[in-house]
Structure 1
Amino acid sequence: MYAYTVEPLYLESGHDLIAADFYKPINVKKPAVIVMAHGFAALRHFRLITFAQRFAQAGYAVVLFDYRHWGGSTGLPREMVSIQSQLDDWKSMVHYLASQKNINARKIILWGTSLSGGYVLTLASELKNIHAVIAQVPFVDGAETAKAYPLQFLPKALKLSSQDYMGAKVGMSPKTLPVVHPFSLCFLPTADSYEGYMSIVHPDYFWSGEVPARVFFNLIRFRPIQGVRNINIPVLLIAAKKDSLIPIESSRETATNIAPFVNYHEWNMSHFDIYHGQWLEKAISTQLEFLHQNIGVS
């Protein structure tokens, strides 16, 4: 087990700054580096620190960052989710790390969860300087996820999304939609999503729980599954059999499309279980085994 330091890191992306934490294991000269960011509408402090700490203790450098508009990063309006902008934030971070001398720039690993799991799969199919990918409970097919959205709420959500999109064009204040809600219109309306999402929220950091509604359309159209056949690097994909947000059939099809480069696991858990207890420990141990087999610490 390695001791490690944690230093703040700020990086330009577009016209704004990304805030990150850089975990550096001591006594590893040029470690491989794992780039991490959270899923939909979440901060880096929402249960990801445990993963970063354990990876650093195992001898890997980690960069854990907030997207623009979120947490310690800059950008207005606050708490906006833009799929393209967030993908650009990942690319900015990878480009920066590729030029650094204190890490092994030939061993960059992308780590994503839920929506960011979809991001890292998308990036793995596009970027040439990625060594491996870890995607846990990844968002792989917005069209299939949308089928779980309650029909009585769908027209209202689409209308609000359209109004927010058009309003943004003329400088109006955002029309927002709750990320989760126990019984009303929201982004993640499945039965277990409210308690599940709230179980990862860190009360010490500001989080309004609402997001500009314009991203609703883009989430439906975001389909990482369509590009994963282009991936030719090692991928660890962990899926949840009882996931109410990502159909297990979509995860299985994604894994089939990545073969033979995928190490696929599906566990008898729900979407948010992987951040807690036995499932958290199982995820970390599985991910460390994957890292040791495909990257290693020298």
Structure 2
Amino acid sequence: MAFEKSTLKIPSARAGWNLDAWQFLPAAVGASKPLAVVIMAHGFGADKTMGLAPYAEALAGIGYASIMFDYRRWGTSDGTPRSLLVVKDQLEDYRTVIKYARQQPQFDPQRVVVWGSSFSGAHAISLSADASVNAAAAVAQCPYTGTTPSLPMSTASMEIVASAILDIIKQALGLAPLYIPVVSDPGTVGALTTAGTKAGMQAIFSKETEYKNEVSASSLLEIGPYQPRAKAAQINCPLLIVLPDQDNLCLPQGAVEISKATSKCELVSLPCGHFGVYPGMSHHTDSIAAQLAFLMKHVPA
């Protein structure tokens, strides 16, 4: 799959903070017609080096451009404190990159696609329901929709809650955040501790960078109030949800609710767990095939 990859620095909404992005272009770019472009970002506690490039490469192979970026405070983008998740800021970063893409002459401003996986899948759903974004289509792979496993009462869960509260206090005082692991074994302190999650995340750890398995503890308080499935009736562009039906991290129920609430949503169910759709896993090829077929149907390259 021939493609051209370059690095971009896109000014974020916060003055002085740039978003670090990779741009993928099909190798054979015709001058007569601007390209459809897919805007992509990573999931919870990850960065753009972790398993996203194969999607962009597959898209380039059939004529789509893509821009893949790190949020503020994550990866190689600017911003402090590091490893802090703010849903409002992440959605704003998507809008910033979408606006940037629309200003580039090689891209068709009417054929901008929003793509996300896991927690960024939540953003793809939310932005598909935002009329001001005016996306041509959206793709959400194994998305967080607002349904998650209950946190069992244990010493570890009480320590997680205490860490989140202490982190809020520390940051309010101008001190460094209190960090906990992004992924950890079940029954231990961490943001994501469901069975198989640590191994799944480790499988997509990048060899390009040294991954810091940490997130500010108070970031967990951003998750519960964020309910993308509540916006299902407002979705105003074609939306594909690739749903691992054995997902124990982002529970399937919310995605099913979205598909029933709007005719705009196409649901493709795959017999695997959350990480089964990622590169090198059992149903990655199936997920890619569904995404390419969906895009060729609704936003032809």
Structure 2 contact 38–64 (Cα < 8 Å) conserved: yes
Partner residue of 1:140?
145
C-alpha distance after superposition, 1:44-90 (max 9, x if no partner): 11111111111011100100111111222111122222211111110
Structure 1 contact 71–206 (Cα < 8 Å) conserved: no
% of aligned pairs identical? 27
* Separation (CA, whole Å) in 1 of partners of 2:221 and 2:162: 10
Asked if 1:108 is matched to 2:112, the reply is yes
Please state whether the residue corresponding to 1:214 is helix, strand or coil: helix
Structure 1 contact 150–189 (Cα < 8 Å) conserved: no
Asked if 1:12 is matched to 2:11, the reply is yes
Superposed displacement of residue 277, structure 1: 3.7
C-alpha distance after superposition, 1:222-276 (max 9, x if no partner): 111111210121011011111111222222112212x211111111100011113
Superposed displacement of residue 134, structure 1: 0.4
Structure 1 contact 8–22 (Cα < 8 Å) conserved: yes
* Separation (CA, whole Å) in 1 of partners of 2:243 and 2:9: 32
If the length of structure 2 is used for normalisation, what is the TM-score?
0.93
Counterparts of residues 98-247 of structure 1 (less than 5 Å): 98-126=102-130, 127-141=132-146, 144-147=147-150, 149-152=151-154, 153-183=156-186, 184-247=188-251
Q: Give the partner amino acid of 1:17.
A: N
Aligned residues: 292
Runs of 4+ in 1 over 4 A off after TM superposition: none
C-alpha distance after superposition, 1:101-154 (max 9, x if no partner): 11111100001000000011111111342100000000000xx3152x232133
C-alpha distance after superposition, 1:191-225 (max 9, x if no partner): 11111111111133122101111111111111111
Structure 1 contact 20–66 (Cα < 8 Å) conserved: yes
Supply the RMSD in Å over aligned alpha carbons.
1.4
Q: Give the partner amino acid of 1:178.
A: P
Q: Give the partner amino acid of 1:151.
A: M
* Separation (CA, whole Å) in 2 of partners of 1:112 and 1:67: 13
* Separation (CA, whole Å) in 2 of partners of 1:55 and 1:209: 29
Partner residue of 1:254?
258
Please state whether the residue corresponding to 1:272 is helix, strand or coil: helix
Structure 1 contact 146–220 (Cα < 8 Å) conserved: no
Q: Give the partner amino acid of 2:21.
A: A
* Separation (CA, whole Å) in 2 of partners of 1:286 and 1:216: 31
| Aligned with residue 45 of structure 2, among 41, 62, 65 | 41
Q: Give the partner amino acid of 1:165.
A: I
- 108-117 or 69-78, which deviates more: 69-78
Superposed displacement of residue 278, structure 1: 4.0
* Separation (CA, whole Å) in 2 of partners of 1:21 and 1:94: 14
* Separation (CA, whole Å) in 2 of partners of 1:128 and 1:214: 29
Partner residue of 2:288?
284
* Separation (CA, whole Å) in 2 of partners of 1:128 and 1:211: 29
Structure 1 contact 158–217 (Cα < 8 Å) conserved: no
* Separation (CA, whole Å) in 2 of partners of 1:76 and 1:100: 29
* Separation (CA, whole Å) in 1 of partners of 2:136 and 2:166: 41
If the length of structure 1 is used for normalisation, what is the TM-score?
0.94
Structure 2 contact 275–281 (Cα < 8 Å) conserved: no
